[in-house]
Amino acid sequence: MVLKNKCKNVAVSMWRKNMLVLSTSRSLNTLAPSFHDNRILKSPTLVSLDFPDVWTCSTANSNQPTPVPKRASEHTAKVIDGKQIAEDIISAVAVQVQRMKKTIGEVPGLGVILVGERKDSQIYVHNKMKACEEAGIKFSLTEFSDKCTDEEVCNAIMRFNSDPSFHGILVQLPLPQNLNEEKVLNVLKLEKDVDGFHPMNMGNLAMRGREPLFIPCTPKGCVELLIRSGVEIMGKKAVVIGRSNIVGLPVSLLLQRHHATVSIINELTSNPEEITREADILVSAVGVPNLVRGSWLKPGAVVVDVGTHPIEDTSCEQGYRLIGDVCYEEALRVASSITPVPGGVGPMTVAMLLYNTLESARRKYNFI
């Protein structure tokens, strides 16, 4: 029996090794430069990651306890600099925008619709406008009061839909409660849905063998941060806190496409800290300040903090400062790597939006 189990374990080990080589090979082939290759991101296409599931009866973990790495008292996690990575991506986008303009006389265009006067939404839109200016992307903003109707917003979207100079359209979410978000987003042309929330894009994200036209910007930015930081995703346990359509759901789908074993925690989950303590990769996206304490983390985990929450701070120029879902000071002593707030995921979301807009224009003009 012992010999039989050893043979099975060797077979499983070889299978996993072969699958890793196959997936890595596909990823490298996707990333390998060609004569016309102008890739900006490190993330491979999702279809290139797909391979057949091969199950054996011994793929389950043994009952032997897994040793937990101990963190030295002076340990400090590596801080993942999302701001710098985003700047590098936006600079690469700008190069391609200028090449497009010089070659065919066209530039990508982004139309944004902002409803209401939410301070955070206004800041996000301002950051997107500034980034578009830096990258040379045409930008147009249409604003409405929170008392506007669905029809007014839909009409604005349809104007962008019919304008060939705009290759991407973004409706800043969340919308006021009096508006029908589903109705509004369904008006968006699929080929201009650079935020990636169209049901077709979300469906293709969920299905193996399919490639969405656009992946939602924040989840895409999270995974790009992991890849550029050398974090292995395949075969790792990933826990996502939050299940929103904007971040939680798509980031869990994207991590699955990268072959992580994913668990999702919502507000009704019992003993969430027990689940998070098993995570090799933790993504939190609920907007609850300091929800995740150091005791929630597995030593050596990689932490991606998507949450943002303003707290009053008179020492800051704006009168407030931002904190995330994760208690940063505690996590620094436990995690191996962590994204800061601000300066982590936020800038990457903007960079991915610009990248998606460029890709949309490339498709339209068949510009390689």
Yes or no: say if 249 and 199 are a contact pair by the CB < 8 Å rule. no
Burial 264-282 (b: 16+ CB within 10 A, else e): bbeeeeeebeebbbebbbb
Q: 217-345: same fold as 105-210+349-363? A: yes
Total residues belonging to the chain = 368
Helices (H), 34-79: none
Q: Which helix (H) or strand (E) holds 312?
A: strand 309-312
| Average pLDDT of the residues in 231-259 | 97
- Predicted confidence band of residue 368 (pLDDT cuts 50, 70, 90): confident
Q: What is the pLDDT of residue 22?
A: 44
The backbone torsions φ and ψ at residue 309, rounded to the nearest 5 degrees and listed phi first, read -150, 120
pLDDT digits (tens, 9 = 90+) for 273-332: 999 999 999 999 999 999 999 999 999 999 999 999 888 888 887 788 899 999 999 999
Q: In what side-by-side order are the strands of the sheet with 281-284?
A: 78-79, 337-338, 302-305, 281-284, 237-241, 261-265
Query: How far is Cα 333 from Cα 336, in angstroms, rounded to an integer?
Result: 8
DSSP notation for 237-280: EEEEE---TTTHHHHHHHHHHTT-EEEEE-TT-SSHHHHHTT-S
- Domain chopping of the chain, boundaries: 105-210+349-363, 217-345
Name beta bridge partners: 239: 263, 282
Yes or no: say if 86 and 350 are a contact pair by the CB < 8 Å rule. yes
Q: Which tops the pLDDT comparison, 334 or 317? A: 334
Q: Is 84 one of the catalytic residues?
A: no
- Catalytic hit among 81, 96, 138, 172: 172
- Catalytic hit among 81, 96, 128, 193: 128
Q: Is 88 one of the catalytic residues?
A: no
List of residues 6+ apart from 359 with CB closer than 8 A: 214
- Catalytic hit among 193, 195, 280, 305: 195
**Does residue 34 have a pLDDT over 60?**
no
User: Where on the phi/psi map is residue 319: left (φ > 0), alpha (ψ -120 to 50), or beta?
Assistant: left
For 105-210+349-363, which CATH class?
alpha beta
Q: Is 98 one of the catalytic residues?
A: no
129 CB neighbour count, 10 Å cutoff: 17
CATH superfamily of domain region 217-345 = NAD(P)-binding Rossmann-like Domain (3.40.50.720)
